Amino acid sequence: MKKNKNLELSETGYTITTDPNFLNKQNHITSELSKKIGLFHKLALEGKRSSIQKFKEAIAKYPDNPQLKNYLSVLYLQLGETEKMFEVNRSIVEEHPDYLFGKLNLANEYYSKKEYQKMLEILGPKLEIKALYPHRDVFHLNEVISFHKCAVLYLCAIGHVEQAEIRYEIMEALDPDSNETEMALKELYYAQIKAGSERYQEERKNKIFVNKKSQPVSENSNPPCFSHQEIEWLYTNGLFIGEDKINKILALPRETLIADLELILQDSINRFAHFNKLVSDQGWEEEKMNFVIHSFFLLGELKSEESLEAIFNALSQSSEYLELYIGDFLTTDIWEPIYKIVATNLKACKQFMFQPGIDDYARSNICDIVQQLALHHPEKREEALQWFAEIIQFFLNSKPEDNVISSDVVGLLICNIIDIEGVELLPEVEKLFEQGIVSIGICGSWENVSEDLINPIQHDCKLEILPIVQRYAEVTSTWAVYNEDENILDYINYDELFEPQIMPVRSEPKIGRNDPCPCGSGKKYKKCCMNN
């Protein structure tokens, strides 16, 4: 922000100035003191005990100046003497009632003690700087930013996160680079995570879950016999397998190649215990554990409609199976090869959705496929809408004991309908909310959803469909696990990301990488908000 520029806030009725000398008269900064004030600021930040006496002498010499006392408060904070800091803060408010920063220091003290009602008494019931000083028409930018930061702390503390977001937006618009704005953002983000966690825990009480099937265990550890020896490459090469090997595999006779690729999927089921123990003992090795991904993408490249049964059989396995073999692909790109196979067979997709005990994200992939069908082929939009309508009716007619209703799947399905601007299904969607089977943490409340359907936001949800070689290149060049910096994620202290940069020490439960994301998406934290 440029210096000496006045900003008029018409809705609040005051002007903001960046004139560095604006507060000199109010704070009784004489020409003599103005030459020294910068030095005292530096002394306060250095935090040396020997500076205390220098401040006391200066305060005695300039008793009408509140800024020196404010810096003394900062010095005590640097020295860890919080009680003395609090004592100075209270004296500033008593001796200089018009000095805003004294009030804000006291409000911060109450914040640190979790005495939030006392914060409001300091900041005023309207939480407006103009209401606190009605006789003033001009405020310095630092005053406005500091006041709004304090308001953000208060609003976050009492759980009014949306109001805190509005205050932060004002700060960001006025001075995006200030430390106060940065601190407000971190505290706001912490509050958003906490509020999301609370919503998630509250919503869990009423959520409907599918009881996932357990994985059949076989002691078989013998590899299958393939028609083509080239298939063995898929067990020893990860996504860096290379275009040459991929093309050689795709050039094999179609019928026997498809049979071998389907055999890979069956092998992953038959030898689940073997590969699960391998990963448990040796860790997950990219070169050895991507054979199922290879099979999916190669069958997709072949548009092997005859492999529908094998594909759906793999997707209908346990969550443990899907985590072991498909992992992050389940919530990112696995829809793409399946789309190439099943997009013309919506009846089969519907029957898969009707099966009990299926993993939520396996089913949501099918919804994603139908969404992309409508976006890539507008002439099929009506067919896609009819498909979604039939799925909705199926959920409405089902009971929890049927083990097919998942609140998360319903919430994700509603997101799909929003993304294709399916306002025609508004009455059916409303019935889902009335029946109480929607995860609002995923798609929002009925008010949010109806607004999104009636007044859609224009954004392109159509995903790019790539050939297998290009998709592998895209994954290996953009996913963290394939980059040199991948291990950085393992050493980050994720808890510190949410520690506020202010005095209070938080004691709330901390979020693990593999815990459910508190935003309510249903995904693991490491696959959702952790990287935002």
Sort strands 14-17 and 138-140 into parallel, antiparallel or unpaired: parallel
Domain parsing of the chain, residue ranges: 9-204+502-527, 229-471
Distance of alpha carbon 199 from alpha carbon 191, whole angstroms: 12
What are the pLDDT digits (tens) for 168-209? 999 999 999 999 999 999 999 999 988 888 877 877 787 899
73 neighbors 89 (Cβ within 8 angstroms) = yes
pLDDT band at 517 (very low <50, low <70, confident <90, very high): low
Which pLDDT score, from 0 to 100, does residue 393 have? 98
Residue 494 scores a pLDDT above 70:
no
Residue 486 scores a pLDDT above 50:
no
Please, what is the end-to-end C-alpha distance for the chain in angstroms?
Answer: 26
What are the pLDDT digits (tens) for 265-280? 999 999 999 999 999 9
pLDDT band at 489 (very low <50, low <70, confident <90, very high): very low
CA angle 186, 188, 190 (to 5 degrees): 70
Q: Which CATH number does 9-204+502-527 carry? A: 1.25.40
Which pLDDT score, from 0 to 100, does residue 12 have? 63
Which pLDDT score, from 0 to 100, does residue 507 have? 29
Contacts of 220 (CB under 8 A, 6+ apart): 270, 271, 274
* Cβ count near 404 (within 10 Å): 20
Which CA distances in Å does 478 have to 154, 227, 462, 473, 523?
Answer: 40, 34, 19, 9, 20
Q: What is the mean pLDDT of residues 326-335?
A: 94
Residue 50 scores a pLDDT above 90:
yes
Which CA distances in Å does 530 have to 479, 511, 523?
Answer: 14, 10, 11
Distance of alpha carbon 294 from alpha carbon 238, whole angstroms: 8
What are the pLDDT digits (tens) for 112-170? 889 999 999 999 999 999 999 999 999 999 999 999 999 999 999 999 999 999 999 99
Distance of alpha carbon 18 from alpha carbon 459, whole angstroms: 38
Q: What is the mean pLDDT of residues 34-53?
A: 89
Distance of alpha carbon 472 from alpha carbon 300, whole angstroms: 13
Beta bridge partners of 139: 16
For residue 47, which amino acid is it? G
